[in-house]
Amino acid sequence: MWCSRLLRAWSAAAPCSLLRQHSALAHMTRILEGELESIRGAGTWKSERVITSPQGPHIHVEGSRGGILNFCANNYLGLSSHPEVIRSGHEALEKFGAGLSSVRFICGTQSIHKSLEEKISHFHQREDAILYASCFDANAGIFEALLTPEDAVLSDELNHASIIDGIRLCKANKYRYKHMDMQDLEAKLQDAQKHRLRLIATDGAFSMDGDIAPLKEICQLAQKYQALVFIDECHATGFLGPNGRGTDELLGVMDQVTIVNSTLGKALGGAAGGYTTGPKALIDLLRQRSRPYLFSNSLPPAVVGCASKALDLLMESNAIAQSMAAKTKRFRSKMATAGFTISGQDHPICPVMLGDARLASVMADDMLERGIYVIGFSFPVVPKGKARIRVQISAVHSEDDIDRCVDAFTEVGHKHRALP
């Protein structure tokens, strides 16, 4: 009553332009509330749990009692809270300051940016590398800079959203081939022969399914049809392949993949940042033309320091990656024995396939009540009817952690009739 009188008084006094703005805002709010309600109604609402401790296998989550076992970070090698990585971040912060207040080409390039770029290209055995604020930016910036309307890009239909968005931004002719379907890729390559350049773009490891792109076959087709190969290695860099170089090393095609984009925000210390590594001419062009590089701030020194140390640790030894692989095997085989279907190959992304979105969501909530943090994924992140709980294994999980997770899944699976 008091409120509506006040509103009437305000309306009488308010100028016309303010009233119009007010009604536009009310109109927008009604539309948004309808959208939000439909997301809730579909059971696909994504809420964010608040962590009150550093990232790691054991975390504290607001609203939960005691420690929580964390199985949903991309912290594959456990380097996010590695003491040497943290120390290196501190040192870079002390020595080089909080940030650059500038893009790279104006006055935002420090010696540590150059040496990290060198380290990345050395790690991947490529000619050069360029840093971005994220791999999302690296993917957003490459296709538009490299490809013109004379060219063609051929993209796996399940590629990461950032590749899809990056391709949308470019003016090349676009072909989308069925997920990992080499017959379909070949047909599209034949059709694309009329174009100047052909670039095949694929995730190295697919983050929702834990499956690995058939790079050997892709590279054979690329050779046959004179195409270039681009891979996104966010879920491979640091741990796939004998020396953790990624999917191209795992499948023996390092010399045939032209361009690698990856992140510093997952296995490589988990802070932030992304990069492209590949031929020098391409990296030179990206420094001139790639919009997320040209028009966004330089990576903060602490972030550079953390990533740089993570790479040092990986180049010294692959023991951490091997430990992660052994734990992944343990989890996958115990879950299969318990009766669950785990998608993908020997990858630390272990999607527990459930089908129904609500089932995935309530099972994830019940897991948290048992002290295990996992997340349910449903449409639109994954196709309708293919909801799942994605479990991610880290080198710093103990065998006991893995077994506790499997036991909790078994209990919750029986409770919700997800197991026979």
* Nearest residue to the partner ligand PLP, using Cβ: 134
Side-chain-side CA neighbours of residue 197 (13 Å): 16
Stretch that binds ligand PLP, among 56-64, 103-111, 129-137, 298-306 (CB under 6 A): 129-137
Residue placing its CB nearer to ligand PLP in the complex, 203 or 249? 203
Stretch that binds ligand PLP, among 6-14, 60-68, 133-141, 249-257 (CB under 6 A): 133-141
The string of DSSP codes covering 85-134 is HHHHHHHHHHHH-S--SS-HHHH---HHHHHHHHHHHHHHT-SEEEEES-
Identified binder of ligand PLP from the candidate list 146, 167, 180, 234, rule CB under 6 A: 234
Report the C-alpha gap between 98 and 111 in whole angstroms: 15
Is 394 one of the binding residues for ligand PLP (CB under 6 A)?
Answer: no
Identified binder of ligand PLP from the candidate list 136, 230, 275, 377, rule CB under 6 A: 136
Q: How far is the CB of 208 from ligand PLP (least distance, A)?
A: 9
Is 350 one of the binding residues for ligand PLP (CB under 6 A)?
Answer: no
Identified binder of ligand PLP from the candidate list 274, 292, 348, 413, rule CB under 6 A: 274
Residue placing its CB nearer to ligand PLP in the complex, 126 or 160? 160
Stretch that binds ligand PLP, among 100-108, 232-240, 241-249, 333-341 (CB under 6 A): 232-240
Is 89 one of the binding residues for ligand PLP (CB under 6 A)?
Answer: no
**CB of 231 closer than 8 Å to CB of 204:** yes
Is 134 one of the binding residues for ligand PLP (CB under 6 A)?
Answer: yes
**CB of 312 closer than 8 Å to CB of 268:** no
Sign of CA dihedral 88, 100, 80, 333: negative
**CB of 110 closer than 8 Å to CB of 134:** no
Report the C-alpha gap between 205 and 350 in whole angstroms: 12
Identified binder of ligand PLP from the candidate list 69, 77, 92, 135, rule CB under 6 A: 135
Stretch that binds ligand PLP, among 94-102, 118-126, 209-217, 227-235 (CB under 6 A): 227-235
DSSP SS3 for 66: coil
Q: Which two tokens stand for residue 236?
A: 């491979």
Sequence length of the chain is 420
Q: How far is the CB of 13 from ligand PLP (least distance, A)?
A: 48
Q: Which residues are catalytic?
A: 207, 235, 266
Number of residues near ligand PLP (by CB under 6 A): 14
Report the C-alpha gap between 325 and 394 in whole angstroms: 9
Residue placing its CB nearer to ligand PLP in the complex, 238 or 265? 265
Question: Is 143 exposed, middle or buried, given 0-12, 13-18 or 19+ CB atoms closer than 10 A?
Answer: buried
Q: Put the strands of the sheet holding 68-70 in their side by side order.
A: 58-59, 68-70, 372-373
Is 247 one of the binding residues for ligand PLP (CB under 6 A)?
Answer: no
Q: How far is the CB of 95 from ligand PLP (least distance, A)?
A: 24
- In one letter, which amino acid is 82? H
Stretch that binds ligand PLP, among 55-63, 90-98, 132-140, 344-352 (CB under 6 A): 132-140
- Give strand ranges (E) for 188-299: 198-203, 228-232, 259-263, 274-278
Binding site for ligand PLP (CB under 6 A): 134-136, 139, 160, 162, 203, 207, 232, 234-235, 263, 265, 274
